Every structure is written in C-alpha cells, then in structure tokens.
Amino acid sequence: MTLLIEQTLNGIQLGLLMFLLAAGLTLVFGIMDLVNLAHGSLYMFGAYFCASFTAWTDSFVLGALLALPAALLLGVVVEIVVVRKLYRRDHLDHVLATFGLILIANDLVRAVWGPDGRRIPLPAWLNQPIYLTPDLPYPTYRFAVIVVGAAVALFLYWLVTRTRTGMWIRAGASNRTMIGALGINVEALFTLVFGLGAVLAALAGLMAGPIVTVSIGMGDNILILAFVIIVIGGIGSIKGAFIAAMIVGMIDTLGRALLPDLLKSFLSVTAANTAAPALSSMAIYLLMAGVLVWRPTGLFGARG
Amino acid sequence: MKSRLFASAALLGVLSAPAWGQQSIKIGFVSTYSGPQASIGQDMRRSVELAVEHLGGKMAGKPIEVIYEDDQFKPEVGKQKSEKLVQQDKVHFVGGYIWSNVLLASLKTVTDDGDTILISSNAGPSQIAGELCNPNYFSTSWQNDQTPSAMGQFVQDKGIKKVYLISANYAAGKDMLAGFKRYFKGEIVGEDLTKWPDQLDFSAEMSKMRAAKPDAVFTFFPGAHGVQFLSQYAQTGLKGTIPLYTAFVIDALSLPQLKDLALGVPGAQSWVNDLPNEQNKKFVADFKKKHGVYPSFYGAQSYDTIMLIASAVEAVKGDLSNKDKVRAEVKKANFKSLRGDFKFNNNQFPIQNFYIQDTVKDAEGNFTLKTVGVAMKDAKDAYGDKCKMK
Amino acid sequence: MTELLTPFATWRGRIAALVLVLLGLLPLYAPWLDAAGIISQKFALTLMTRVLILAIAAISLNLILGYGGIVSFGHAVYIGLGGYAVGIMAHHGVTNGFLQFPVAIGLSALFALAIGALSLRTRGVYFIMITLAFAQLVYYVGVGLEPYGGDDGLTINRRSDFAGLLPTRGPDKTTAFYVVSFVVLLLVLGLVHRLVNSRFGMALRGAKSNEQRMQALGMPTFRYRLTAFVIAGAICGLAGALLANHTEFISPAMMHWTRSGDLIVMVVLGGMGSLLGPVYGAVAFLLLEEFLPGLLKVVLTWLHDGVAAVLGPGAGALESWLRLAEYWQIALGAILILVVLYARGGIDSLFGRPRHG
C-alpha cells in the first residue's frame, strides 16, 4: 500500500514537472500559433544557468532565483532576433527554424560549459527524505517539486482566468485578429508571452536539474513528451495541459513500476524489462492517437 | 589552372587528413565526443594523446597519426564512422569504443569487410568473447561480465544473502547482471533493467527497492547515469539504509561530481589509479600535471591500446603489409601495461586481476580511488570456451 | 520523345540532368577520384549509396509534403518498417529478395493505409503530432523487440539474394549495390513524375491550395490524399529495405523522430514540390553532415593565416582555431534558419523558376 502511495507521488511529481514545461509551450503555441521546438533548449538553459549560479552563490535557492530572470532575458533576445520573423510563416517553417535553434543551442552550451554534465548540489535540508508516515519516507526535494509545481499551476490558473493579461491570452488563443482589434500592442504581448514561456521552461529545467543532472540535449527527448501533452490537452488550454500532464506522468511512472512485474509472470526477466518501458511509452502515444481520432483538436482544444 | 589547383587543394584538405605522407602509422579512434557522455570520450582522447607523447610521436620511426571519430553515442553513427576510417582513411588499426552496442554494430565493417585490426578500449560484449570471436579483434579492457563477477564474488564473500539488481537495458547492462549472478549465490529479490539511455529518473525503481527490503543493491550505470543514480539514491534516503555495490559507477570522471556521495560505496575494476608499477605512476602523474584531474580507467585502457599497437609495430619494424605477422605480434602483448603483466586469453581478451576500490581524499583534498583488495587473480572470462580460436 | 527533351530547354532542366548524370556515372569516375587522392573509391560509393537511398525516402515524402501539403512528421517509420521486414526475415534465414522486398513494401503500404485513414481527418499541427505518435508507437515496438536486439539493433549477416543476379559479398557488392540504388531512384523519379502530372496529381495539388473548392467540384479529396499517403509510404518502405541491405544493420534509430525531421529538412532544403528537389536536398544535407567539419577547418585555416599575416604570433596557435570546427552544428543550425527565412524555395529555386506550382 505504501508502495502504491509512493509511486503515485512519483507520478504526480513527474506530471507537475511535465506540466511546467508544457504550460509554456501551450501558451506560446496557443497565442502566437508558433511551434517552438527550441522550448526544450530553454529548459536546458534554465538548468545550466541554475547550475552556474548555484556554484557561484553556493545556494540552490539563490541560484534558482537568479536563473529565472536570466532565462527571461534569453527568451526575449531569442524572440526578437529569430522567432519574431517566423510569426507570419507556416508551421513547417517554425519546425525547421527552431530545429536549427536546437542545433545551435546544444553546441553553444558545449562551447560555454564544456561537454561534461553538471550536478546541481542540493542543500542538506532538501537532500534527505521526510517521513510522511513513520514507514513512508519520501525525498524532500521531490516533495518540494510537487509543492512548487502545484503553486505555479494555481498561479497560471489565476493569471489566465482572473487578470486582464489572462483575458488577452484567452482572446489570443481563440481569435487572434480580435486582440489586434482591441487595441492591444500585439508585438509586446507576444514578446511577453514568449518570455513567460521561457521562464516556465527554465523553471522546469532547473527543478529537474538536481534529479537528472544537467546535460547537453537534456531537453530534446522531454520536448516531444511535452508536445504530446499539449496536443492531448488541446493547444492553448492550460487546463488541458495540466490534466494531460498528470495522465502522462501517471502512465509513465506506474508503467515502469508495475508492468515489469506483471510481464515477468509470463516472460523472461530480460524480455519483460525490455518490453515494459516500451509498452508504457507506447501507451502514451496510443493515448494521444486515440484522443485525436476521437476529438481531432484534443480534450480542451479551442481550435484546429 | 591556378584556381583549379586551389580548388582541389581545398578539397584535399576537406576529404583527407593532414598529409603526413604514406609512411605514417594510422590509428582510428572511435569514441563519444559529444552529448551527455562526452566526458568519457574526452578522457580517452587525452590518454591517447599522452600515449602518443610518451612515444615521442613515433612508432618504429614512423609518425603516428590518430584520427578521432565521434560515434555520438549511437550504434548506427558509430558504424558509419568506422566505415569511413577503414574505407576512406585506410587506417591500420581501429581503437576506442565505449559502448557494447556501438561496437557490435561496427564489428563486421572493421574486422571482416575491412580486414583491419580492432582493439576495443572499453566495450567487451559476451558475443565477441564467445561465438563471434575474431582474429582481428583484441581487447585492452575486459569482457563485460568480469568486473561485476568480481563484485559478485566480493558480495558473496561478505556473507550477504539478499540482493536487488538494477542496470541499464542494453548489451553491456545485460552482461553485467549475468556476470554478477555467476558468482553471487544468494537470493535475488528484485531485478530492473532501465531504458537506456533515455531514463534518468529512477524514482519508481527506488520505491520498489525499498519495498523489497534487500540486504544490498548492486548497480551498473556508466558515466552521467551513474551520477544521477547515486544522487537520487541519497535523496531517497536509501544510501544510509541499504548498502550499495557498483560496477562502472564510481570513477575519476564521476567523482568530481559525486564527491562525498561516493564515500563508502565500493566498486570493482581491473585498473585503479594507485596501482604501484612504474609506467602507471608516470601515466597518472603526467596526466594530472597536464589536465589537473585524475585519469579514469577508460583513459588507462585507451593508453594501453596505443602502447599495445606500438609494441606490435615496433616488432614488425613498421612494416604493416603482412597482416598475419602483425596480428601475431599484437597477440604476444609484449608491452608494459598500466596494469603490470598483461596476457591474452585464446579469445584475445586479457587475463588479469580485478580489484576492489574505495573512495578516499588525496593530499590536496580531492576525491580519488584507492585499491583496498584483490577480488580475483588472473581471471579469464567465461566465454573463451565458446571461441574456436586457439 | 520531344517531351523527354523539353526539360533541357531551361537551366533548371540542364542542371537536373547534370546532377543525375554525375550520380549515375559515379562508379566510372570513382577510381579517378581515388587516384587523385580526393576520396577513396569504396568510401565514395558507400557514402553516395546512402545519399541515393535517403533521396528516395525524401522523394516519397515530397509527394505528400510538397505536392499534397501533408506534413507528416513520422515518415521515417516506413524506413524502419521496410528495414525490419528485411532484417527479421534475414534473421530467420529467409534471404530471398523477391520475397523480402514485396513484404517490406506491402507492410509499409498497409501501415500507411491504416494510419492515413485515421489521421488524415485531423488538420494542421494535430496532423503533425498524430503522425509522430504512430511513428513513435512503431519505434517503441522496435525498442521492445528483445529477440531482435531491442534498442541495440540487429546485424544482418546476409544481404537480400536476388537469385544470384546481384553479388551479395566480395569486392563487387558495393558497386553493384550502388547501381541498383541508382536505378531504383530513377524508377521512383519516373513514377512520381507521372503521378503528379496525371489527373490524380492535379487533384492532389489542387487540394493543397484549396480543398473546399476541390470538394465542391466533386473531387473525393480525402481518398486522393489517402492514396498519395499510401504510395509515399510504400516507396519509403522500399527505401528502408534498401537501407537495411546497405548498412547490414537495423535498429530502432532508423525510425527515430529525428530521422523524420531529417527527411523534412532534406525536402525543404532541396525545394518542396519540385521533382528533383529532394535529391538535391539529400545530397546537400548528407554531404554537409559529412564534410562540414572539414570545410570549416579549411576556412578556419585561411582565417588564421590571414590574421597571422597581420598580427604575426598574436594570432595564436592554429590548433586552438581548429578546435572551433568541433562546433560545426552551430553552422548547420544557422544554415537551416537562413534557408527557412530567406531561401524559401530551397536549392531548386536557385536554378530558375519552376514551370508550375
């Protein structure tokens, strides 16, 4: 029983981390209609910034707080130099140009930080388990990720549904010509949203850093998963991204936790261990394909 | 005419390596120089460069030319690069190969189609030690099973009864668990193979580990993955409760990142930086002087690869035309290995000692490794019988 | 006959013909390149065989992407299906190519039919993602296939045997296989040329620019798009079967999503909706990948020598300049972005305007 609770927490933690990454992606996509493959690179930069600032200040919390404005700055620069030129182009152009950005980002990081990965050291109070019940210890840091992730989710919900900026964002996601007609400075709004997306990606990256080690290309694989999440949830929908991220986090964790033992009852250990991660990965894509066949614009999609 | 000459000169510069002339000894070296595992490739490359330096840049009076190719951590890229080395650069020897799956994909291209001698500086998949053994294939590392076997023996000798196994799901990862199980006779209470190389978060597996209540955990995760595994092991609070035994997790590359996380976690290895022979002292001292860090076993094995080649090239006086002669000389292993004495088994894998290492701090306060015991002496791998070569 | 000659009336046609002749005659002048010390004969043929095969895959993608406006982000899946069909059959001792190739092509066509029927109902980025999803599904099937090596892949010990007509081993196999790949490329080009200029092709291109109008005209656009999707899948499966024979190795990496991305890059780089575009794209992309580091080294050497001529020793060691070439992917990324931003028609558009489209 405790094992199941622990695995559920693991699933929630992964889901919230994925949500942070997906939320930025779905905002940028929904409002600017921009497919940004380089979102994973912003995730990576967030982690590297945090690693450097943590080493410099000797504090993970300070390092993280400094990394966020740095990521915002990077996001704004990228938007002005490259991304801005892409808004009037089609999705195919977005995919190709931002794929080019990924290549540049990975080699740039290698040139600046070297080929070695970085480990972000945690302060002692985060680096040990807390006891949720006397026989259920859980890593404090993962618990902190859950808390921060949930807080950011609530903040985004408030931002989108209760504020004026949120109104523009919602307007943009459902009808782009309208926000121009409302007399809003579209250019500034786009830069702002792209910067917000960069901060969210960086936050996800720097929170993943202490768990998975900061390394080159760390955002490339997780990016595809983030795309799956926003497509399942419906592009532009924060609520959809949240629900889809939780589902994907659960499938991935429970698949890894339960499937191998299930398969071992009728397969060899090696075959079961080879098939299980493949099956849980497949389950995620099967889910996406199923959702799209059933609802061609995702669970909460505003438009096609 | 002039412009054409210019153009073809430029093309020459693009397509072929620097013009040393026909007389150089060409060695191709395939490793990972980009991506998350690039630090291993860098360590190997530094050691190769040091070996070339120690040889004065020459073998049998001919200049040495090493061509480094990046496998990008992918089997199919490694195969393409091996193809290029053998077909385009026409190298005399191919060395390197960190990963068993890359090596298995590249093997045929080099040893059969290319009839070129391949010396693995790290990967040692069981297939090549057994049924796929090949007169053109030599190893200056080990067969994958051996290091974990030494650890299995060590754990067995400690009287540990219940063990949980976790490893990476690729050719080497499977060999590692097979090797451990060959010498550990107690109960295996759980076994996980994680998706390689994508999976970096081991939370689900660690929860299972805790629930299974083993006396010890044995793990294999090379390079960056090992760092992640150990730091998560500590974060989960498992480090203090369940003792951890490792193969290829703690080395000179991961220690600067692991630091005190590595204390009290033993590993097995056929080379440790404090082995007391002269050539090893010189290698470690010169490496530290040049780069400010300790070399890893990956580097030591790469250094041995170059020294082994040098011994054969010297023995045939630089005449590499008769491949049978060259092979025979390589097989004699008449060189000063960093591990001391060095002999080949019938399948052309080394017969060697395996040591247990522990993490300590050196005089300057840096973390390093220390030999604390011999787990196996003059060990041969378990697959030599399946190899038809004598 | 005159129809065959008309392309030569334009520079565009002449260059297309020149590229094809240069590719086709490679086995004849490769020994000369070897003797001149430019590139070894065997490596030239090995490398260019790969280029030809991926060009075939890119042509098949261009049929739906360039002419039909169908952005499939999972096209490499057919390379994998074709490759695995050959590899698995060879693993079980079935090396007859007359059996392997139809299976590879048929399997790819069937798969394309199934996923096309499901996914062509979605639009825009949802279509991009659903094709990716199906490709990832198959990718993970490959990863989970423990008997066939899983992630590590599988070495093919014997190439497809076409009743002994084609040498499967020995020194001739490289040249023979190059010639076969080139002939297949020509056949595929011919097929696609006829297809896009037929009534079917007109309808396909019409549906790209204005689907509603085509439907109003009574065209069954869905069925046309699906047919194109299936043909493209089948051709790409053929490319996969060739690739497995060429590399004598299969692994899930053949159908990784980045490979699908590479195919799109080849098509766009070469020029979408142009017959020869994907061939130019494949040649340019793969040769850049192979030789860009070397090219950069040449450029850096010149730069260094230039700076050294002015500054003398202040320019620093050549060695440290050459290290910069390790970061050649920055150059590749920049080229990609520049092509997208400023050279929309790809390489093909450099040779003059296409006649239509």
Instruction: Write the pLDDT tens digit of every residue in B261-308.
Output: 899 999 999 999 999 999 999 999 999 999 999 999 999 999 999 999
Question: Are B127 and B150 in the same domain?
Answer: no
- Tens-digit pLDDT profile for residues C296-317: 888 888 988 888 888 877 777 8
Task: Judge contact between B298 and B44, C-beta under 8 A.
Answer: yes
Question: Are B156 and B231 in the same domain?
Answer: yes
Lowest-confidence segment of B259-268, C255-264, C339-348 by average pLDDT: C339-348
Question: Are B133 and B152 in the same domain?
Answer: no
Beta-carbon contacts of residue B220 (< 8 Å; ≥ 6 apart): B148, B166, B167, B168, B172, B173, B176, B177, B246, B247, B248, B249
Residue C216 C-alpha, separation from nearest chain B C-alpha, in angstroms: 49
CATH topology of domain C2-351: ABC transporter involved in vitamin B12 uptake, BtuC (1.10.3470)
Q: How far apart are CA C156 and CA A116, in angstroms?
A: 35
Q: Give the number of B-C residue pairs with CB atoms closer than 8 Å.
A: 72
Question: Are B132 and B236 in the same domain?
Answer: no
Query: Stretch B192-199: mean pLDDT, rounded?
Result: 83
Residue that is written with structure tokens 């419906």 in the block: A234
Residue A301 lies in a domain: no
Residue A165 lies in a domain: yes
Interface membership of C39 toward B (CB under 8 Å):
yes
Instruction: Report CA torsion sign: B286, B287, B292, B293.
Output: negative
Domain membership of residue B217 as a residue range: 146-269
Q: Please report the residues numbered 167 through 206 in chain A whose beta carbons come closer than 8 angstroms to any beta carbon of chain C.
A: none
What is the residue type of A125? Answer: W
Interface test with C, best of B6, B22, B71, B87 (most C CBs within 10 A): B87
Judged against a pLDDT cut of 80, whether residue B75 lies above it is answered with yes
Task: Judge contact between A187 and A172, C-beta under 8 A.
Answer: no
CATH code where residue B224 lies: 3.40.50.2300
3-state DSSP of B275-335: CCCHHHHHHHHHHHHHHCCCCCHHHHHHHHHHHHHHHHHHHCCCCCCCHHHHHHHHHHCCC
- Structure token pair of residue C338: 């520049």
Task: Judge contact between A302 and A234, C-beta under 8 A.
Answer: yes
Beta strand segments in chain A, E: 129-133, 136-139
Q: Has the ipTM of the complex gone over 0.90?
A: no
Question: Are B44 and B90 in the same domain?
Answer: yes
Judged against a pLDDT cut of 60, whether residue C2 lies above it is answered with no
Residue B367 lies in a domain: no
Residue that is written with structure tokens 């840091």 in the block: A141
Residue B8 lies in a domain: no
Question: Are B182 and B84 in the same domain?
Answer: no
Question: Which of A216-220, A276-280, C56-60 ranks highest by mean pLDDT?
Answer: C56-60
Lowest-confidence segment of A163-177, C69-83, C199-213 by average pLDDT: A163-177
Judged against a pLDDT cut of 80, whether residue C147 lies above it is answered with yes
Question: Are B57 and B108 in the same domain?
Answer: yes
- Structure token pair of residue A147: 């808390």
Q: DSSP alpha helices (H): ranges in C120-172?
A: 124-144
Number of domains forming the structure of chain B: 2
Question: Are B280 and B216 in the same domain?
Answer: no
Q: How far apart are CA B260 and CA B265, in angstroms?
A: 10
Q: Residue C6: what pLDDT?
A: 64
Q: Which of A272, A246, A223 is nearest to A101 (CA)?
A: A223
Residues of B in contact with A141 (CB under 8 A): 235
Cβ within 8 Å, pair B13-C297: yes
Judged against a pLDDT cut of 90, whether residue C348 lies above it is answered with no
Residues of C in contact with B80 (CB under 8 A): 50
Residue A73 lies in a domain: yes
Cβ atoms within 10 Å, residue C39: 22
Q: Where are the domains of chain C?
A: 2-351
Q: Residue B7: what pLDDT?
A: 43
**Banded pLDDT at A174 (limits 50, 70, 90):** low
Question: Are B138 and B150 in the same domain?
Answer: no
Residue A239 lies in a domain: no
Q: Give the number of A-B residue pairs with CB atoms closer than 8 Å.
A: 114
Residue A74 lies in a domain: yes
Residue B370 lies in a domain: no
First CA to last CA across chain C, in angstroms?
24
Q: Residue C191: what pLDDT?
A: 96
Residue B85 lies in a domain: yes
Query: Stretch C89-93: mean pLDDT, rounded?
Result: 94
For chain A, the residues whose C-beta falls within 8 A of a C-beta of chain B are 2-3, 6-7, 10, 13-14, 110, 115-119, 122, 127-129, 137, 139-142, 210-213, 215-218, 221, 253-254, 256-257, 260, 269-270, 273-274, 277-278, 281
- Structure token pair of residue C49: 């065989």
Residue B343 lies in a domain: yes
Nearest by CB to residue C144, choosing from A108, A231, A278, is: A278
Domain membership of residue A28 as a residue range: 2-216
- Structure token pair of residue B358: 């522990």
